[in-house]
Amino acid sequence: MRLTVLLLALVLGTASAHTAVASVTPAAGSTVSAPKEVVLKFSEPTELRFSTFRVMALGADIKPEDGARAALALKAYASALVNLPLTARTLVAQLRIPLKATLKAGAYVVAWKLLSEDGHPVTGHSVFTVK
């Protein structure tokens, strides 16, 4: 009986674990000089070919959630994005997203959509401000 409970707990614990963004640089809520890149570290290696990453300026009246959703809907080469398109399509534990050199003062949203190892999509976002 104990073995059954232990195995069930192990299976359920594993099934509910999702890949996550463990940290973002620039940090959420930070105010920084215009960065050259955004760095994301993942809780486990992430397959980039099944993931989307976008960085976009936030308008004054746009909520971060709405900005993130809008950024993820854009094509990789959309002019509204301030990140350069990613070419890597490998398994990584950390990702460097290069940014355009023209970042102006204001808020920026970093948005991501990952495919977790268990097949579930994981979306999220972070906001930083350029001074």
Q: Domain 18-130, what architecture? A: Sandwich (2.60)
- What is d(CA 112, CA 96) in angstroms, rounded to the nearest whole number? 13
In the predicted model, what is the mean pLDDT of residues 50-55?
96
1: pLDDT confidence band, cut at 50, 70 and 90? low
- What is d(CA 106, CA 90) in angstroms, rounded to the nearest whole number? 32
120: pLDDT confidence band, cut at 50, 70 and 90? confident
- What is d(CA 18, CA 117) in angstroms, rounded to the nearest whole number? 7
Residue 42 CB partners (closer than 8 Å, separation 6+): 19, 20, 21, 22, 92, 93, 94, 95, 114
Phi, psi of 52 (to 5 degrees): -130, 135
In this prediction, residue 5 carries a pLDDT of 42
In the predicted model, what is the mean pLDDT of residues 76-85?
96
Q: Could you tell me the pTM of the whole model?
A: 0.85
CB neighbourhood size of 82 (10 A): 23
In this prediction, residue 78 carries a pLDDT of 97
Higher pLDDT, 126 or 88: 126
Distances (CA, A) of 104 to 48, 84, 131: 28, 16, 8
CA angle 25, 30, 33 (to 5 degrees): 80
pLDDT exceeds 50 at position 13: no
- What is d(CA 58, CA 113) in angstroms, rounded to the nearest whole number? 18
In this prediction, residue 17 carries a pLDDT of 64
